[in-house]
Amino acid sequence: RRIYGYVMTLVPNVSDADDIVQETASVMWTKFGEYEPGTDFTTWAIAIARYKVLGYLRSQKTRRKFFTEETMRIIEQVEAKEDRQYSIRQDALEQCLRKLSHTERRILSLRYEQGATLKSLAGRLGLDINTLYSRLSKIHLMLLNCVKRVMVEP
């Protein structure tokens, strides 16, 4: 509902807003592995919706009916800044992933790239499911802290 409400505040055409919400849901589904547990899910979802709305607004030749040129310029500046931040964060994550042990990277790969369930992954690794959950939580926390450190380095 919050995503739909957000989209409707920026896209006055109900049909177009419905399409954007559907596209947002599709992107969320395909990128769910990138969502960081423990972070605000709604904020993550609205960020995806924002990109979809901005793409829609850019494609509309009639956008001036809804937004002044100045408003569009500000929206585009915000989008560009967020794109840069995402790129910086992605680079930091890749750098931090390289610092993990082979076993830690393997666990993440099996879980998120290959889509293994916790139960199947625990069985494959010969671990109790609670132990695996604990290891994944520790890996996530290590990555989060590493990304934060890397992003503040000059």
Per mean pLDDT, which of 8-12, 36-40, 89-93, 115-119 is the most reliable? 115-119
pLDDT computed for residue 153 by the predictor: 77
Q: What is the pTM of this model?
A: 0.53
Q: Per residue in 47-68, pLDDT tens?
A: 888 888 888 877 776 555 666 6
3-state SS record for the chain: CHHHHHHHHHCCCHHHHHHHHHHHHHHHHHCHHHCCCCCCHHHHHHHHHHHHHHHHHHHCCCHHHCCCHHHHHHHHHHHHHHHHHHHHHHHHHHHHHHHCCHHHHHHHHHHHHCCCCHHHHHHHHCCCHHHHHHHHHHHHHHHHHHHHHHHHCC
CA distance 112 to 106: 10
Higher pLDDT, 82 or 126: 126
Higher pLDDT, 126 or 67: 126
Q: Which domains does the chain have, with CATH numbers?
A: 1-66 (1.10.1740.10), 84-153 (1.10.10.10)
Q: Per residue in 89-115, pLDDT tens?
A: 888 888 999 999 999 999 999 988 888
Kindly indicate the confidence band of residue 124, based on its pLDDT and cuts at 50, 70 and 90.
very high
